[in-house]
Amino acid sequence: MSEINKHDCFVLLEAFKQYLYAEDTSRNTTSAYLSDLSRFLNWYIQTIASFDLDGVTPTDIRDYPEHLQEKAPPLAPATINRRLAALRRFFSWTKENGYTENQPIERIRNVETTDHGPKSLDRKQWHRLQRGVEQAKGNRGVRDRCIVLLLYHTGLRVGELAALLLSDLTLGERSGHVQVRRGKGNKSRKVPLNAEARSAIREYLKVRPSNEGPSLLVGQRGEPLSAHAIYDVVVKYGHRAGLEDVTPHTLRHTFARALIASGAPLSDVVDLLGHSSLDTTRIYTKASETDLAAVVARLEER
């Protein structure tokens, strides 16, 4: 592709934004990706003097995090890695759609960081969130409680929950499960439903309109509830509980951490979360290692 101007950059970013929305990427993540890409483009134009999409090289990509680390003040490693993640997603999309022939970031590694694992809720925070959603009024409140409890007790991705059909549910007196037909990578899996999740679903089904199509979760007008709408529900109750940055992914991480803390084998956690490998799931053990280190450190205080 030849050198492109600011208008072409805008059109390209707009097309990428529509792709992210089509992939059920959250609004916050989409906004962060676009902001990070704009920063990279500005840096590239100021440094290289012109922008040629096919001309971006691995050397350019390596120079970018070095530039961010040399800023005053330097950016945190987690922030730099997030910007690299935006570039990976963007250049993967440009190659798949024929905008570029190469993938300049394919072999670029993240900068080193101290990883304490993904953010999750502790027991007190979860109880605050749970109390808030239980106080919600009306049929919508019953539905919202079902959403929050299902995410917390199953670890489903927000897109997976939005895609659930009534026929994907199996509810028994002492057991039940949801069938995730198309998880990440088009993998299917069954996720058990504990008593609290089954109860929340049953309460919701009592108030759910019976003639509103096959989707489990529906909006006020009977339309299937989108991943964005589910995301907003969780964020709303997080704010009401005085908790910052509570999202469906936070509840997924909380579910995973609870499984690890209960002694569940890592292979079982992989299956329940729908991960492709043990390596992806091992990030949830980081917090436990940190907690153990803190326990040992407290011995010094005694």
Q: Which residues have a catalytic role annotated?
A: 157, 184, 249, 252, 275, 284
Q: What is the dihedral of CA 81, 86, 89, 92, to 10 degrees?
A: -90
Left (φ > 0), alpha (ψ -120 to 50) or beta: where does 270 sit?
alpha
Whether 113 and 78 have beta carbons less than 8 Å apart is answered as yes
CB atoms within 10 A of CB 161: 22
Helices (H), 97-226: 123-134, 138-154, 158-163, 195-207
CA distance linking residue 261 with residue 169, whole number of Å: 27
> Before 73, cis peptide (omega within 30)?
yes
